Amino acid sequence: MGSMNSKGSFLQYFLFLITVFSSGCQVPPNQPLKELAEARLPESIMIHDGWGGLSPVAPIIVKYTLVQDEENFSGQVYCSVGGYFTNTYYDSEFVTIPVESVELFLKKLSDSSIEVGEYIPDITWTDDYPDINMQVEYKFKVFEFSTSSQGEKNVPRKLKIYPDTIYVINSSAPSDALQILKAFLDRNILNKLFEKAEGECSSDYFECPQ
């Protein structure tokens, strides 16, 4: 009987290995993202949303750190436009985001389809260089979602769970999550900075990239 049990256990383990390798090293859903899936509120959320390229408004940088304040998450948002070809223009605003929206942001992040593998950004053309980083910080763990991939959803992304666990995300969930927070930013602030940088080029069109 002991021999039969050993053979059975070995067969189960062998079948498990076949399943893992045939699935492209996919990770069981939501296990590494347990805190996010349960929408546990973090200590802070850090966003760095940047872009560079051949443009009079480049580089564009929007960065902020949100911390919980009673029933909301809030923080100062810093915007920077220009610097490659024009002067750099700055502005800032204070933003407040309801806890409910932060919970939705976390749940959307937890929907990320993650795999074990090497992160290779999707860069297929020139003069379009995203630099997007989101850190969700808990007391004993930090989730960092980052990407320099081009395209509307910036897929793929890299997920680093500090200190040293790295996954690849081949889904749009982090991009969709970021849009939840960006909806609370005042777009007019960036638009005014764009106008200043673009206006600096209007007197000598041919010396300013489009």
The domain that holds 82 is classified in CATH as 3.30.1560
Which positions ≥6 away from 14 have C-beta within 8 Å?
A: none
Query: How do residues 146-185 score in pLDDT, each as one tens digit?
Result: 999 999 999 999 999 998 899 999 999 999 999 999 999 9
How are beta strands 89-98 and 129-137 bridged, if at all? unpaired
User: In degrees rounded to 5, what are phi and psi of residue 166?
Assistant: -125, 135
**Predicted local confidence at residue 27, as pLDDT:** 58
**Residue 161 included in any domain:** yes
Beta-strand runs (E) in 10-101: 44-52, 60-69, 72-81, 89-98
Mean per-residue pLDDT, 104-132: 96
**Predicted local confidence at residue 70, as pLDDT:** 82
The pLDDT-based confidence of 15 (bands split at 50, 70, 90) is: very low
Bond into 174 cis (ω within 30): no
**Residue 43 included in any domain:** yes
Mean per-residue pLDDT, 53-60: 94
Element (H, E) at 166: strand 165-169
Query: Encoding tokens for residue 110?
Result: 């937890």
Task: Please report, as a single letter, which amino acid is at residue 120.
Answer: I
Element (H, E) at 198: helix 187-199
Give residue 135's domain range. 25-204
Going by C-alpha positions, the residue among 32, 158, 35 that lies closest to residue 102 is 35
Task: Please report, as a single letter, which amino acid is at residue 87.
Answer: N
Q: How far apart are CA 170 and CA 150, in angstroms?
A: 13
**Predicted local confidence at residue 200, as pLDDT:** 85
**Residue 123 included in any domain:** yes
pLDDT at 38 over 50: yes
pTM: 0.84
Total of domains in the chain: 1
Q: How far apart are CA 150 and CA 189, in angstroms?
A: 24
**Residue 8 included in any domain:** no
pLDDT at 24 over 50: no
pLDDT at 20 over 70: no
Whether the Cβ atoms of residue 144 and residue 160 lie closer than 8 Å to each other: yes
- What is the signed CA dihedral for 166, 152, 205, 56, rounded to 10 degrees? -30
The mean predicted confidence, pLDDT, of the chain is 87
**Residue 58 included in any domain:** yes
Query: How do residues 63-86 score in pLDDT, each as one tens digit?
Result: 999 999 888 999 999 999 999 989
**Residue 45 included in any domain:** yes
